[in-house]
Structure 1
């Protein structure tokens, strides 16, 4: 008797239905590098926050299905207000983005009126609207260096702010937010991983603590990591970021070996999107993400200033 893997059949059927609905709705699926493998595999474009922001701004589509977290879908809605932007997992929030509010930022601006405000894209639309310019982990140093002001309020990630401060003479004043996935990685994790894999390069994300960054061979955004491993002559890598990226690395550079720096580096909200939710979202065209125009107009300026930096 031949065994039929019903799970595989269901996944294939879902993929076929998703492809059909995509065509019907003139839709494009964007997925962050941290998404689960089956979602990455169905996506039209995979990338980090900067790549997906650029893609969202220039897509020829009526519907954007954003497989990521809330602030990413908000950014797409701000950049493409004429499009229908869907977030398949309505509860896929970013805990770090919730660590700073627009009200708290206004207080900071009053306290330091001569400082520019740089906000990480991992923030709400309301916080972006109160900021001078946005940044991502891949361009944060370049963004800060582009400013005329000598003082910079940097929200919300203290670790990324500290990393940026290494490469600029400007006074960087970081907020006390953090990514729980990266902040929980410890120097001991690096030491133990090197013992287990002595020939492997250690790559970490700049959202990690300074003492972890100090022990790494290289510090990159997620797409920076992917570019590095594909170009490097080295064959083994210890990956210090959310473990979902390893799926893409294995697809892009299958002849190399990848080890997570920490098995605990899992963003539970990034994992809330699956094929069933992508299908449900395309079928119903919900949950839709919108941003009030009075907020979007101001936030758009901060995002566009970032995108204008090459």
Structure 2
């Protein structure tokens, strides 16, 4: 049955001139049918530059919206409309406008994990893989960073000469992890390295051997000579890690790290979306244009 629906999706993809993009946190079946699998930054590049006229985005909503912001002429389909991002939902425009008014000289920087409306009020977007490179090119001494206080705190540590005003948002999947769980696992293993996403809080980052984006974690584990790793980010990344490194061992804490929204998309959802061209992302054009500036600044400054 799974092979049948995969074949039907591939057939529809050709008929509709579509490309399927999937985040590393998607279920393995979705990653297998995708034309490109990656982190938010990589996927936003692919969405911007692809020749196909239809993009099927398998991730969470801000990712599909970002694809539409960058490519308004393309049809962007989002198979599961309620696959949202709790962190993105923690930022709102009314409070951001107030904060900007309180700090008129600040550069407003938003994590790509934010709504189109929030991006429209920001000067530049960043991803976890591009943030440090972008911030090195910023002259402003005062930075408003939202919505993730953990990623913002990690960036602030690298730029002690700047003043960061951090929004009190967070990723529930990364925030709930306890240091004791990681150390307990570490003590049960030999010669193991801890690889941590910067969406984790400072207590977790402090015990990491490596801190980086999803793609950064994959690259580090692939290039390192170590055999054993504890992976502290959403477990979907294990599929690519194990596929790329069959001779290495990847461990996660017992309680796991699962983003339920990232796991909502099924092959049936992708098939239905393509078949009926349903769940199209539609954005207000004035808001899209304003948000486009922040995303394009991200791509230009990350070069």
The question of a shared fold, defined as TM-score above 0.5 by the shorter chain, is answered with: yes
Matched, 1:134 2:125: yes
Gaps of 5+ in 1: 1-9
List, as ranges, runs of 4+ consecutive aligned residues in structure 1 with deviation greater than 4 Å. none
Question: What SS is found at the alignment partner of 1:154?
Answer: strand
Matched, 1:64 2:55: yes
Spell out, residue by residue over 1:241-280, the C-alpha distance to the aligned partner (whole angstroms, 9 max, x if none). 0001001111122221111145331000000001110111
Instruction: Give matches, 1:265-284, under 5 Å.
Output: 265-284=257-276
1:232 counterpart (214, 224, 246): 224
Partners of 1:159 and 1:206 within 8 A in 2: yes
Say what the alpha-carbon RMSD is for the aligned residues: 0.9
Instruction: Give matches, 1:295-306, under 5 Å.
Output: 295-306=287-298
Partners of 1:240 and 1:262 within 8 A in 2: no
Distance 1:175 1:198 in 2: 38
Matched, 1:48 2:39: yes
Distance 2:13 2:133 in 1: 36
TM-score, normalized by length of structure 1?
Answer: 0.95
Gaps of 5+ in 2: none
Distance 1:30 1:194 in 2: 34
Spell out, residue by residue over 1:37-74, the C-alpha distance to the aligned partner (whole angstroms, 9 max, x if none). 11001100000011011111101101100000000000
Q: CA deviation at 1:148?
A: 2.0
Spell out, residue by residue over 1:69-90, the C-alpha distance to the aligned partner (whole angstroms, 9 max, x if none). 0000000001010111011111
Q: CA deviation at 1:142?
A: 2.2
Instruction: Give matches, 1:1-310, under 5 Å.
Output: 10-168=1-159, 169-261=161-253, 263-309=255-301, 310=303
Partners of 1:243 and 1:263 within 8 A in 2: no
Residues matched between the structures, number: 301
TM-score, normalized by length of structure 2?
Answer: 0.98
